[in-house]
Amino acid sequence: MEFDVFTLLPEVFLPYLNSSILHRARQRGLIDVRIHNIRDWAADKHHVTDDEPYGGGGGMVMKVEPVFAAVESVLGPFPCGDDIDRLTLSRCPTGRATPEACCPVILLTPQGRVFSQKIAMELVQHPRLALICGRYEGVDERIREHLVTDEISIGDYVLTGGELPALILIDAISRLIPGVLGDPDGAMDDSHAAGLLEYPHYTRPPEYRGWGVPEILLSGDHAKIEKWRREQSLRRTLKRRLDLLESAPLSETDRKVLKKIQEEGENS
């Protein structure tokens, strides 16, 4: 999978991308992350990428020309053919007029739809993503209107720019690509993957400062361990994230277990 990242702070990406799992994924060719410095496309001699807002007010606004120039020079001019689906694809900047080849152009902004495991699963279906990191008070609205096909926020708080959010997207999406995690089922067990929070984990030693490990995990009985883990996931989600439980795919057995847990709570 390919990522093209457009940023004014290219230097923040490499330390993370050169570490651990993402580093290995890049070395093995499972992901290719290309970082583009928007400043390189600022036409004036001082490479200015921001300006004062029309209408006054505080803060600076990211200029439209360098962002368009950067994205178009990397992805190709747009719009591409009119024959593709309107929402994401009608603004396809790649010039490759097929839905599969079209590359979403995502602006990281607190105004976007809130990122989730579901959105990561949706985005990993694309062979290529372009990520634009906003800075300053915001971006010229024409970038939103005519270049960007999607806007994503990583949560309801405001950061100084879209660089950390872009890394978060790259991380969450990459670990869904087969082969990126050592364990082929790794991403399946994650919190959120099945709509529930994950069960608790333990590793050696079996006792630390008098705190033990649940006996069942040492029993070697895999069927019982699976059952225990599912119950723990349900307990945790019930206690911490009722909102997730309401939309999680639950079996009849899950529902019985939940009922038992709730009755325990009522009787204690």
Q: Which residues bind ligand ADE (CB under 6 A)?
A: 108-110, 134, 153-155, 157-159, 161-162, 165
d(CA 7, CA 266): 53
Catalytic pick among 151, 171, 189, 190: 190
d(CA 135, CA 114): 18
Is 50 known to be catalytic?
no
Cβ proximity to ligand ADE: between 40 and 137 the closer is: 137
Cβ proximity to ligand ADE: between 33 and 107 the closer is: 107
d(CA 235, CA 215): 18
Nearest approach, Cβ of 163 to ligand ADE (angstroms)? 8
Cβ proximity to ligand ADE: between 79 and 161 the closer is: 161
157 within 8 A of 232, measured Cβ to Cβ: no
The neighbouring-strand residues paired with 140 are none
Cβ proximity to ligand ADE: between 66 and 134 the closer is: 134
CA atoms within 13 A on the CB side of 222: 0
Nearest approach, Cβ of 148 to ligand ADE (angstroms)? 12
Nearest approach, Cβ of 155 to ligand ADE (angstroms)? 5
Nearest approach, Cβ of 194 to ligand ADE (angstroms)? 25
Is 2 known to be catalytic?
no
Is 175 known to be catalytic?
yes
Cβ proximity to ligand ADE: between 151 and 198 the closer is: 151
Catalytic pick among 11, 137, 145, 264: 137
Other C-beta atoms lying within 10 Å of the C-beta of residue 54 = 8
Other C-beta atoms lying within 10 Å of the C-beta of residue 203 = 7
DSSP symbol at 117: H
User: Measured between alpha carbons, how far is residue 71 from residues 107, 146, 148, 211 in Å?
Assistant: 12, 12, 10, 55
**Counting beta carbons within 10 angstroms of the beta carbon of residue 96, is it exposed (0 to 12), middle (13 to 18) or buried (19 or more)?**
middle
Nearest approach, Cβ of 165 to ligand ADE (angstroms)? 4
Is 209 known to be catalytic?
no
Active site residues: 110, 137, 175, 190
